[in-house]
Structure 1
Amino acid sequence: MATLVEIDDSSSSNYDKLKDLCKENIIYFTNNERNGSTAIANAFEQLFENIGNIQPLVFKLCNVYHLYDFDPSMPGNGYRSYVSVVDLFIAHCIKICNQMAANRDSFFFRKTFYTKEIESCNQVMNTLVLCLENLCLLIGWSEPGMLFSGNDTAALELMMKIEPSKLCPFYGRCLAFQFNESLQPALKTIAIMMAAFSEVYYNENGMLARANTAWNCSKYMLNPELRARRIVNVIQYSSIEFYKAFLFLGETELLKSLPNLVSPTVAINRLIAIPSKPFLYLKPNGQLFEIQPPLCHIGPASLNARLIAKTKREGMLAENPGSGILPEPCENLIIHCHGGGFVSQSSSSHESYLRDWAVRLDIPILSIDYSLAPRAPYPRAMEELLFAYIWALSNAAYLGSTAKRVIMAGDSAGGNLSACVALKCIEMGFRVPDSLFLAYFPCAIAWSPTPARFLSLIDPLIPLGFMTNCLKAYACSPDIYQDSLYEYKLKNIAKPKDGTSEDFVENIESSEEALELIQNPNDDSQSVITPVEEVIMAAHERRQSRRFSTMLTETAENISSAITTTFITLTGGTAEEDISDSEDALNEVIEETPLPIDLPKLPEDPFLSPYFANDDIFKQLPPVHIVTVHMDPCLDDCVMFAKRLKELGKKVNMDILKGLPHGFLNLAITCKEAHEGSVLCAQRIADLFKEIEMCEC
């Protein structure tokens, strides 16, 4: 049964409860003669005023948000999400007030701490008021029922011109309040690591010692305001290379080994190499067609894919084929496209939940390691996935399947690519996947702010700056895309003690060399199965892979070591510390800009943005199941995609999960609710296969 998002329209009782708590605390601290009581009383007076400001805006959205749902039985859209954000924040404030009431008479009452907590709540409330005012404007700029704005430029300005300082509390004391409590420690850890890694990444004067890196993590854990200021500046000004480097920490041997410890054991978990050479494909109409390998942007290149299966089957690629009678090939096959904003991650970083799916479904899964932007922008990834998909159909026996029934599954960017591949198959007359499973994916790569995309202003995983950089890196041609012009603001520059210009140039060269390798993390130092002569990994790619592993050094002993080790690769620096005595500018919020609205125009290409496909092609899509989350900046994309399919009479179902963030599948091993979401995804894929089988009868 689908998991519904329930919005309580009568939540005004919580507003009244918080108002009463504010009044009580105002009276208490006004009559209290202790030092600091005046400040905390003033903070509660402001909070009381903010409640009165935000409540009418919430009620205004409540009157219309039902008009934008996919279906009455599945309520969910960005307007509902922001109402839910406010409701959850009111509950967060009530929790703090109750804690304060229980401790304020104690001799050990931490008045300064609670003053900062309430002041932070006021800052969040002020920003939420601004966001809700903007959403009310969006309603007037959009057609009835449409979540994409009819005035993209003006809507984008509303998002981009919110002052950075107004976002700080969402990355400080109030970090991740909108998500399940069990997820909040993991999200806080990610935020702390981002702040610490940014200090290492942007220190141009040498490498911080490992002990100091651990100290950086601790100071950002103990000082939420410092962490918030640094993160806000990083997401505002950093280039895509910082984002890629940070996400690359998930590819270290330490974190890559986690699935071996906590995920189910599978019989097959091997990389294969799909050769970059033409092959013949028999189309459904009986016509032979020569499939050409992708060539755009980076020329011919071997394409890696990971085969994961619970059961070793007859004909399947395996390191140790074994002896005896093996089970017959499976009639089903899953082609998986990983997420990562088109710029990062791989099949390895998604291995934890893919293993679980493979065991639960007992169906072979082929996860494709497509080339990443900005080195390989659109349409390279889509063309590689199409090439890999047709190759898998033609060589299904090596995957332990007959490919009688095939589902393409993808999350986030991978969901977008899966839908685009299906549309391309329709256009080319190739066999279309029997069904699509799409998780929290963007269907429109465009600068079109939706109510849900406003969530990126307060999202700790895909904030607005990172999201726009990812879209630019993938959708723009190399001559248009460039690194952030504002990244210089993040540099911590001090006068060098020693060294020559030649040393500086050498470090720059090694840094660029390392980044070039990071841009294509699909190279894997594991042995690659080559059961037939065509499936050969080029020798020079293996040497590059080993070289890359060497540059990244040995397996990190802990997370702090991993951060330090990775940064050595990125900078070519040494472990000698060279710290400026001046205050790091990154610890102060840079107020001089909202970023200018100079984003390049993006094409309305259906193979870039599947939502823009014409009706004749769109209505030929196979049955689709979408799983998204209530607090996802891509929620409205999913809703609009599903609504359009429904309007065209296509079979489409949707689950909107509560309390989980975008990318929850990657957090399945850290949180019970995320794991339950992953299990639901596996069940939905199983349901799709059952529906396909029933249609065959």
Structure 2
Amino acid sequence: MAPSLEIDDNKSLYNDLRDLCKENITYFTTDERNCSTAIANSFEQLFENVGIIKPLVEELRNVCHLYDFDPSIPGNGYRSYVRVVDLFIAHCIKVCNQMATNRHSFFFRKSFYTKEIESCNQVMSALVLCIENLCLLIGWSEPGMLFAGNDTAALELMMKIEPSKLCPFYGRCLAFQFNESLQPALKTIAIMMAAFSEVYYNENGMMAKANTAWNCSKYMLNPELRARRIINVIQYSSIHFYKAFLFLGETELLKSLPNLVSPAVAVNRLVAIPSKPIKYMKPNGELFELQPSICHTGPASLNVRLIAKTKREGMLAESPSNGTLPEPCENLIIHCHGGGFVSQSSSSHESYLRDWAVRLDIPIMSVDYSLAPRAPYPRAREELLFAYVWALNNAAFLGSTAKRIIMAGDSAGGNLSACVALKCIELNIRIPDSLFLVYFPCAIAWSPTPARFLSLIDPLIPLGFMTNCLKAYACSPDIYQDNLYEYKLKNIAKPKNGPNENITEEVESSEEALKLIHDNEEDTATSVEKTISTNEQRQSKQFSTIITETAENITSTITNTFMTLTGGITEEEISDSEDALNEVVEEKPLPMDLPKLPDDPFLSPYFANDDLFKHLPPVHIVTVHMDPCLDDCVMFAKRLKGLGKKVNMDILKGLPHGFLNLAITCKEAHEGSVLCAERIAELFKEIEKSES
């Protein structure tokens, strides 16, 4: 799963790039054609930056092994940045070789290559700044500790970097740190985000919606314009924009993809758990009554999705229709989806869950918890605990005996899964037999880590989005609302009537509990019927209309883009001077007035005391080298290991945070999903072995 070029500890690449720079400087200095001087100057600056960054990278390379979870599993944020620079050096060598090959040609596109080498030089300058800050961070942390000791000063290092210096990471060099097979998908997401922002903020009225295909084309053909647009969106947009963009994955078109490419399953149904107290018999024989969550949004039924390869005896309380059904499965997986605590659902994670269900032949119950900012902490954690206890009482309904239970979660879902396990320990409720956690944050805090510096260059979870998600989930509604629009959109137009929160509010379940929501006859699609108020219907219709119109435009983007390209439009024709938006990125860092987050172990499981932490079940963690949450995973694993707990970890190369959601579009992401299924199977075998 590693990138095609293995360059770990290959220091000679730095010298190779400098040699190429010198050779190109000599060539273009003597070339009398237009733009040759600009190219030569860019190569001179790149030559100098490589000389500056090389000793800084070596400083990190010499100490990064001290922060690993285990010598056999190398990985932490310092290592990641060393690899980022190594990969970028390889990228620059590729560009230089292309120029050397084509520069003698009559058709040599000097303007194009000038922009390419200028972009490389800008990225290298920004990487120099990041590496310098990381070298400072090492001095502020205890040996082996990835969470900074001086939180405020470390946070300033991250947030004082001017957005203009980060633009190149979202332009021509976007996603260079990931596998080549993933780069087109990540660039497409960036293009869609830039185009969607015009629709969302309703710039130019209906023209923006009508010209979505053209907008995608211009952001594809003009990487600099795309970069400036994305940086402004990251810097100034509220959490509601992020929610709306991610909600595109919930449209009917994208929700139908699993039916086309994922394995068929016998059961794929939504079940609504009534908002009523649950009586549960604790392992010690004590009768316990668990109340449903009512915080923030009041009582409401809780939806869970049951996915299973095989219909089993007692599943969904249905009578056998054709012969005898298999006996209930002894195993059960309780899944909690990611999405930054603010977006997505079991439906958006259905593609890989269906694959897991088929590979493992184990029922999977995925929980659709309430989302922030409407339902911040602790609503989601309380709902997941409620669903877990309900599953213990109703295992037969899920086609399982629940003899062995693994709680699995990715990203925000991993955090919630770990928090619920700790809450079970505190309440003396049966603890899950194992935890399977994927690229999850264990500390909801502003404490920077070297891996969190990756959010400065990450196309999926950039720093502005990450801080907004944490505020939306961890802050109380009154505090969050006070800070909601503190980043005002200066270069991106607001809606004419001001920010409309209604269009980005998810439609919550009604108070009336639905016992069961049936599939269609083939059990491949889910029909969801909910009773909602007239007010909610109006909000839902408004939101649905905007998303549907946007999705319809974006689905035609690929076809229209290629039509545009074949129509003769070139990158040079979409010049900066002709940009309708005239994007300008201010030389202004993100503000530092971030609200204080609570030190709550059921919000940040890493903060739990040893008395709770040491009772956690065996844990397996899967994460990736280029993930801003990598150090959270490493520190969580190191703490478990220090307490003598059983913990294992995989750190995958070349994949981004959220790769599970890309499993149907990329071979390497699919292989990562398959690895996750294999690790879950191994956990069940270990549990079974421990029983004998």
* TM-score (normalizing by structure 1): 0.90
CA-to-partner distance for each residue in 1:417-456, whole Å, 9 max, x for gaps? 0000000000000000000000000000000000000000
Q: How much has 1:528 moved relative to structure 2?
A: 1.3
SS in 2 for 1:479: helix
Aligned to 2:91: 92
Map 1:136-147 → 2, pairs under 5 A? 136-147=135-146
Output the CA distance in 2 between the equivalents of 1:666 and 1:525: 29
Indicate how the Cα distance of structure 1 residues 273 and 646 shifts in structure 2: closer, same or farther if over 3 A, else same.
same
The one-letter amino acid of 2:517's match is: V
What is aligned with 1:276? Answer: 275
Q: Distance in 2 between matches of 1:326 and 1:485?
A: 58
- Amino acid in structure 1 at the alignment position of 2:677: A
Deviates more, 1:83-92 or 1:94-103: 94-103
Find the aligned partners of 2:406 and 2:645 in 1 and give their Cα distance.
17
What is the Cα deviation at residue 553 of structure 1? 4.6
- How has the CA–CA distance of structure 1 residues 109 and 560 changed in structure 2, closer, same or farther, with 3 Å as cutoff? farther
Show the 5 A alignment for 1:47-66: 47-66=46-65
Structure 2 CA distance for partners of 1:318 and 1:253, relative to 1, 3 Å: farther
Q: Structure 1: which 5+ residue stretches go unaligned? A: 495-503, 531-535, 566-580
Structure 1 residues 676, 543: CA separation in 2 closer, same or farther (over 3 Å shift)? Answer: farther
Whether 1:513 aligns to 2:513 is: no
Rounded Cα–Cα distance in structure 1 between residues aligned with 2:652 and 2:491: 37
Q: Once the two structures are superposed, what CA deviation does each residue of 1:370-411 show, in whole Å capped at 9, x if it has no partner?
A: 000000000000000000000001001010000000000000
Q: Are positions 1:469 and 2:462 aligned together?
A: no
Partner of 2:637: 642
1:561 shift after superposition: 2.1
Q: Could you tell me how far apart the structure 1 residues matched to 2:296 and 2:206 are?
A: 34
Matched position secondary structure for 1:492: coil
Q: Residue 627 of structure 1: SS of its match in structure 2?
A: strand
Distance 1:311 1:493, change over 3 A: closer
Matched position secondary structure for 2:344: coil
**Structure-2 residue corresponding to 1:125:** 124
Distance in 2 of aligned mates of 1:398 and 1:203? 47
1:658 and 2:659 matched: no
Indicate yes or no: 2:284 matched with 1:285. Answer: yes
Give the direction of change, closer, same or farther, for the CA distance of 1:95–1:115 in structure 2 (3 Å limit). same
Checking the alignment, whether the CA contact within 8 Å between 2:369 and 2:384 is kept in structure 1 is yes
Quote the Cα distance in structure 2 between the aligned partners of 1:389 and 1:264: 26
Describe the SS at the equivalent of 2:477.
Answer: coil
**Seq. identity, %:** 78
1:2-401 paired onto structure 2 within 5 Å: 10-203=9-202, 206-208=205-207, 210-317=209-316, 322-401=321-400
Give the C-alpha shift of residue 512 in structure 1.
3.9
Q: What are structure 2's unaligned runs of at least 5 residues?
A: 520-526, 558-576
Amino acid across the alignment from 1:112:
S
Match in the other structure for 2:675: 680
In the alignment, the residues of structure 1 paired with residue 226 and residue 79 of structure 2 have an alpha-carbon distance, to the nearest angstrom, of 29
Q: CA deviation at 1:69?
A: 0.3
Which amino acid is 1:687 matched to?
Answer: E
- 1:575 is aligned to none
Q: Which residue number in structure 2 is paired with residue 500 of structure 1? A: none
1:668 equivalent to 2:659? Answer: no
Q: Alpha-carbon deviation of 1:102?
A: 1.1
CA positional deviation for 1:16: 1.1
State the distance in 2 between where 1:229 and 1:527 align. 48
Counterpart-to-counterpart distance in 1, 2:400 and 2:55: 58
Tell me by how many angstroms 1:527 deviates: 7.6
1:582 Cα deviation (Å)?
A: 11
1:12 is displaced (CA, Å) by 1.5
Q: CA separation of 1:79/1:524 partners in 2, compared to 1, >3 Å: closer, same or farther?
A: farther
Q: 1:124 to 1:204 in 2, by over 3 A?
A: closer
What CA distance in whole angstroms lies between the structure 1 residues aligned with 2:632 and 2:686? 25
Per the TM alignment, residue 74 of structure 1 is displaced from its structure 2 partner at its CA by 0.3
Q: Give the letter aligned to residue 471 of structure 1.
A: L
Give me the whole-angstrom Cα distance separating, in 1, the residues matched to 2:320 and 2:2: 42
Shift in Å at residue 663 of structure 1?
0.3
What SS does the aligned partner of 2:107 have? coil
Say which of 586, 590, 602 aligns to 2:586: 590
Distance 2:633 2:290 in 1: 31
The Cα offsets for residues 209-239 of structure 1, whole Å up to 9 and x where unpaired, read as: 5541110010000000000000001101110
The verdict on how the C-alpha distance between 1:490 and 1:297 changes in structure 2, with shifts beyond 3 A counting, is farther
Contact 1:252 1:562 (C-alpha < 8 Å) held by counterparts: no
1:294-337 Cα offsets, whole Å, 9 max, x none, are 11111111100000000011111288953310000000000000
What is the rounded CA distance, in whole Å, between the counterparts of 2:556 and 2:665 in structure 1?
24
**Contact (CA 8 Å) 1:668, 1:674: kept in 2 or not?**
yes
- 2-structure distance, mates of 1:367, 1:239: 28
The TM-score with structure 2 as length reference comes to 0.91
C-alpha distance in 1, partners of 2:532/2:129? 51
1:696 paired to 2:691: yes
Distance 2:178 2:378 in 1: 35
2: CA distance, partners of 1:335 / 1:586: 49
Q: 1:243–1:192: structure 2 CA closer, same or farther, 3 Å change rule?
A: same
- Does structure 1 conserve the Cα–Cα contact (< 8 Å) formed by 2:274 and 2:513? no
Q: Is the 8 A contact 1:268 1:318 kept in 2?
A: no
The separation in 1 between residues aligned to 2:536 and 2:682, in whole angstroms, is 39
CA–CA distance in structure 1, aligned partners of residues 210 and 581 of structure 2: 22
CA contact (8 A) 1:315 1:397 kept: yes
Distance 1:642 1:97, change over 3 A: same
Distance in 2 (alpha carbons) for counterparts of 1:653 and 1:521:
41
Range moving further from structure 2, 26-35 or 183-192: 26-35
> Against the structure 1 CA distance between its residues 395 and 520, is the aligned structure 2 distance closer, same or farther, given a 3 Å change threshold?
closer
